[in-house]
Chains A and B, each alone.
Chain A
């Protein structure tokens, strides 16, 4: 895959763009090992949002790190657009990273506090050899996508932005690479309800307008319900249920999924925790 190829067309909607096949991750601990991800197979279809939900420690983020090639697999295969990328290195891996971008939970820790938003975004594209005008235009377009005013935002330092704005800048930074897959690992967990909705709406727009494939990792089933086309439920490193969002959330078959749904705090329903 050349640099030019990665900036071109997107895969046909509905086709698997990224796949994990029989992927396992084990960590060594004193006296043995623990299996964080256990023989997981999952396809990410082009132009769709797939949500991976589960409790803390269920293996969601470990799976994400392996898909991002930030962590080696113990066994199994990661394939991207039909090619095995499990062990690629060097320029090939950098090309993969251009196509598969990530946004993480804490946007503040992803910024250099001494750089303005403009400097942060320019630095990220430093190796691309773009003309200044092209780069400025790209920054303007990407900040526009996420609902920020470019003229205003590029001069601000991270501490001058709200949590929601910081996360939007991080999404803009990822978009500048024109990725085909965006992996959001608990990207909205630190935001309050209204900022969270605006960040989710940005992801929804990107899927609808740019055909972006989104892998959305969350412990909040409500967010998965709002955004995702498909949902995968993980428990102790295993996928225990998968299907369309409607099927998994409204007609869950697995006991663990049912328990997760039952534990979701209910705003207007009967109080599930007795105060008597």
Chain B
């Protein structure tokens, strides 16, 4: 049986609104990353994916506060909460070394006036002040060679690299400290299909070469996730609603939300050409005042009375978890996707 690299338990992260109300963007979520695996986190914009990534990477900054949750990684238990609402410096040693975050749009955050090698030196020295230039260069050169990337990128400025190369470069730099877990937030969203494929191949090679021992891959792009991940977790309105092995979840969606998301994927096929995709009716809820019961019920084609009043508990079917009343009544049945297409 695969051992668990990271287990985040009961994670709750809130945004402190100007009104004084705390808006929970991640609400009592538990997530596991098995050793050597890539776990995908998917959902619509605003469902809490990035907040979850930031909380796990321990970079929650006001107005985001992690109010509860622990991370168990390699037999070490880290309290993720920033309850004191002050400095989260206590988490500093873990950032980059235990958990590294590749944030959204990272490739556009590279200084235009510094060569890539200066970025490498900065990153290394931020964690080990006495790192020499030669040590930093050796580490970066070895890593680039290992991943069959040209070492000339170290002598380039950001604008001299293509978008795809820049994204691969920041991915390599973000893992120079050999983090146990890499959280990659929308790393492929700004790239065209060929650059996406190159990045995915590189990430898989990094896991294979054990540069990091697990990855959380955050994106709304389900086809990319189906290519790269071993497991998928689907988030809706701050909660995980379905979680299971990727192939099983894609072929046997048990939650109507997962099914609706899958039906919205436009791949170049005869079906896309001939069918009218209806999408998901309505909008995600206001998290300051989420719907009662199942949060998806106002948009769900399969909603029943119980969905409006009672929150569904997780049902575990052979390592495939789903929180849905319809799934409760229809054991092992796939949600019929036809309702989302005309």
Q: Which of A194, A246, A264 touches B267 (beta carbons < 8 Å)?
A: A264
Q: Could you mark each residue 60-87 of chain A with 1 if its beta carbon is under 8 Å from any beta carbon of chain B, else 0?
A: 0000000000000000000000000000
Does B223 lie within 8 Å of A266, measured CB to CB? yes
Does A263 lie within 8 Å of B197, measured CB to CB? yes
Q: For window 215-259 of chain A, which residues contact chain B by CB distance below 8 Å?
A: 219-226, 245-246, 249-250, 259
Q: How many Å lie between the Cα of A152 and that of B290 in the bound state?
A: 20
> How many residues belonging to A are interface residues under a CB distance threshold of 8 Å?
43
Q: How many Å lie between the Cα of A249 and that of B268 in the bound state?
A: 7
Does B44 lie within 8 Å of A273, measured CB to CB? no
**Given A260-B193, A263-B197 in contact, is the A192-B44 Cβ separation under 8 Å?**
yes
Smallest Cβ-Cβ distance to B44: which chain A residue: A192
Q: How many Å lie between the Cα of A235 and that of B46 in the bound state?
A: 35
Does B197 lie within 8 Å of A197, measured CB to CB? no
Q: For window 104-147 of chain A, which residues contact chain B by CB distance below 8 Å?
A: none
**Given A162-B46, A265-B193 in contact, is the A193-B204 Cβ separation under 8 Å?**
no
Does B266 lie within 8 Å of A273, measured CB to CB? no
Q: How many Å lie between the Cα of A190 and that of B273 in the bound state?
A: 22
Smallest Cβ-Cβ distance to B226: which chain A residue: A267
Q: For window 3-25 of chain A, which residues contact chain B by CB distance below 8 Å?
A: none
Q: Which of A191, A201, A219 touches B192 (beta carbons < 8 Å)?
A: A219
Does A193 lie within 8 Å of B221, measured CB to CB? yes
Interface centre among B163, B201, B224, B265 (most CB of A within 10 A): B265
Q: Could you mark each residue 258-270 of chain B with 1 if its beta carbon is under 8 Å from any beta carbon of chain A, else 0?
A: 0011101111111
Does B227 lie within 8 Å of A250, measured CB to CB? no
> How many residues belonging to B are interface residues under a CB distance threshold of 8 Å?
47
Does B193 lie within 8 Å of A226, measured CB to CB? no
Q: How many Å lie between the Cα of A261 and that of B267 in the bound state?
A: 10
Q: How many Å lie between the Cα of A192 and that of B164 in the bound state?
A: 20
Q: For window 192-240 of chain B, which residues contact chain A by CB distance below 8 Å?
A: 192-197, 200-201, 204, 220-224, 226-228, 230
Q: How many Å lie between the Cα of A195 and that of B44 in the bound state?
A: 8
Q: Which of A164, A225, A264, A275 touches B273 (beta carbons < 8 Å)?
A: A225
Smallest Cβ-Cβ distance to B230: which chain A residue: A275
Q: Is A28 an interface residue (CB 8 A)?
A: no
Q: Could you mark each residue 88-129 of chain B with 1 if its beta carbon is under 8 Å from any beta carbon of chain A, else 0?
A: 000000000000000000000000000000000000000000
Q: Is B31 an interface residue (CB 8 A)?
A: no
Q: How many Å lie between the Cα of A164 and that of B281 in the bound state?
A: 13
Q: Could you mark each residue 266-288 of chain B with 1 if its beta carbon is under 8 Å from any beta carbon of chain A, else 0?
A: 11111011001111100110000
Q: Is B162 an interface residue (CB 8 A)?
A: yes
Q: Could you mark each residue 175-203 of chain A with 1 if its beta carbon is under 8 Å from any beta carbon of chain B, else 0?
A: 00000000000000011111111101100
Does A226 lie within 8 Å of B222, measured CB to CB? no
Does A225 lie within 8 Å of B269, measured CB to CB? yes
Smallest Cβ-Cβ distance to A267: which chain B residue: B223
Q: How many Å lie between the Cα of A249 and that of B274 in the bound state?
A: 13
Q: Is B250 an interface residue (CB 8 A)?
A: yes
Interface of A is mostly: helix
Does B264 lie within 8 Å of A275, measured CB to CB? no
Does B163 lie within 8 Å of A56, measured CB to CB? yes
Does A265 lie within 8 Å of B196, measured CB to CB? yes
Q: Is B19 an interface residue (CB 8 A)?
A: no
Q: Which of A164, A219, A271 touches B227 (beta carbons < 8 Å)?
A: A271
Does A260 lie within 8 Å of B194, measured CB to CB? yes
Q: Could you mark each residue 81-97 of chain A with 1 if its beta carbon is under 8 Å from any beta carbon of chain B, else 0?
A: 00000000000000000
Does B222 lie within 8 Å of A193, measured CB to CB? yes
Q: How many Å lie between the Cα of A30 and that of B324 in the bound state?
A: 61
Give B187 Cβ to nearest chain A Cβ, in Å. 13
**Given A260-B194, A263-B193, A263-B197 in contact, is the A273-B264 Cβ separation under 8 Å?**
no
Q: Which of A190, A200, A265 touches B224 (beta carbons < 8 Å)?
A: A265
Interface centre among A164, A197, A201 (most CB of B within 10 A): A197
Q: For window 153-179 of chain A, which residues contact chain B by CB distance below 8 Å?
A: 162-165
Residues of chain A contacted by B16 (CB below 8 angstroms)? none
Residues of chain B contacted by A192 (CB below 8 angstroms)? 44-45, 220
Does B221 lie within 8 Å of A268, measured CB to CB? no
Does A57 lie within 8 Å of B44, measured CB to CB? no
Does A263 lie within 8 Å of B194, measured CB to CB? yes
Q: Could you mark each residue 153-191 of chain B with 1 if its beta carbon is under 8 Å from any beta carbon of chain A, else 0?
A: 000000000111000000000000000000000000101
Q: How many Å lie between the Cα of A221 and that of B193 in the bound state?
A: 9
Q: Is A272 an interface residue (CB 8 A)?
A: yes
Beyond the given A193-B261, A193-B266, please list 20 additional residue pairs across the A-B interface where CB-CB is below 8 A: A55-B194, A162-B45, A162-B283, A196-B264, A198-B279, A200-B266, A225-B266, A249-B273, A250-B270, A259-B194, A263-B196, A264-B268, A265-B196, A267-B223, A268-B226, A268-B251, A273-B200, A273-B201, A273-B204, A273-B227
- Sample of 28 A–B contacts (CB below 8 Å): A56-B162, A56-B164, A57-B162, A162-B284, A190-B189, A191-B45, A192-B220, A193-B220, A194-B280, A195-B44, A198-B279, A200-B266, A225-B267, A225-B272, A249-B273, A260-B193, A261-B268, A264-B223, A264-B268, A265-B223, A265-B224, A266-B223, A267-B222, A267-B226, A268-B251, A272-B197, A273-B227, A275-B204
Residues of A within 8 A of B (CB): 55-57, 162-165, 190-198, 200-201, 219-226, 245-246, 249-250, 259-261, 263-268, 271-273, 275
